Structure 1
């Protein structure tokens, strides 16, 4: 493929549905080759979200088990949440840690930004590794206490086989973290 794709022209857009969390927008588009199409997309809060890989020590990260309405099941994953208006992603990450697992972090390392289903949804999530944890609790919006689950870093492959560890963003965060650890950038004496 040569050259850069030219974004289609938006000829019209309107909201066709709205809930407490999302809005669905209909787009009337014309592509550079003249082809006209109608697309729908979900529009989120616009502030983004964070996911955190908390390191209890150099050999152990913490996961949370929480209820997921989409699958009506309890799933294991990394702490996550929305970035509230006025918050930086780092502030939101530290707040979510305190709300979900009862720890704050003295060091947050940005790993990556990921998107969920960009063909239909504008949701972006910043992923961090949290080290130098200290006990600290904030009241969150969860309807019940979340279960914090320590997991050995060296046993990450068995985590990938767990039937309740299926969320794509958590899997991405795990693999990004493993890659980061294997590069030797994180685990230095006194960093965790």
Structure 2
């Protein structure tokens, strides 16, 4: 496989901005002399976390929340941004407490993923959380989230559920199932 030298960044500029997002144009020169302009979300240097909580009874805990992108309620795992001063596990613990009212004593990192590396640099750290205990923190959600218990033994059926279609949640589930199978 050929090794490529990273292209030279000739210039960057902001082409669009909203309250949440900044779109940046990057003028690049590749090692073969070709020049192109790429657009990307300007890096925020703030990662995110997603947590697959599993109860002692062998249930996955999911949340059902409204998603503006699909304009419907979706099933997924607790997730959120890492606040300044937090590490990924601390952010995951906070998100669990805010979104499902549980903390966890046992944390297993699953993988750090990137949603769409051509357009985003933000990473999301996926965790498996076990040995859960009740503790609630106030979150920033506009409405109370519905917590859905799903038997881990029926993970295959969850993959075909119409409301469970977020790629990050599917990835987290598959990685968690693999780790849990090794523990069994």
Per the shorter chain, which TM-score range?
over 0.9
1:43-82 per-residue CA deviation (whole Å, 9 max, x = no partner) reads 2532100000001125211000000011110000000000
Asked whether 1:55 is paired with 2:54, we answer yes
Matched residue, 2:36: 37
Query: Distance between the aligned counterparts of 1:181 and 1:133, measured in 2?
Result: 15
Matched residue, 1:140: 139
TM-score by length of 1: 0.93
Runs of 4+ in 1 over 4 A off after TM superposition: none
Matched residue, 1:67: 66
What's the secondary structure of 1:180's corresponding residue? helix
Matched residue, 2:100: 101
1:71-112 per-residue CA deviation (whole Å, 9 max, x = no partner) reads 110000000000011111111000000000000111211110
Matched residue, 2:130: 131
Matched residue, 2:114: 115
Query: Distance between the aligned counterparts of 2:43 and 2:11, measured in 1?
Result: 19
Unaligned runs of 5+ in 2: none
Asked whether 1:181 is paired with 2:180, we answer yes
Aligned length: 184
What's the secondary structure of 2:94's corresponding residue? helix
Q: Out of 116-125 and 94-103, give the one that drifted further.
A: 116-125
Residues 21 and 44, structure 1, Cα contact 8 Å, conserved in 2: no
Q: Out of 116-125 and 53-62, give the one that drifted further.
A: 53-62
Residues 21 and 45, structure 1, Cα contact 8 Å, conserved in 2: no
Matched residue, 1:82: 81
Matched residue, 1:155: 154
TM-score by length of 2: 0.97
Query: Distance between the aligned counterparts of 2:31 and 2:44, measured in 1?
Result: 30
Q: Out of 41-50 and 167-176, give the one that drifted further.
A: 41-50
Matched residue, 1:6: 5
Matched residue, 1:190: none
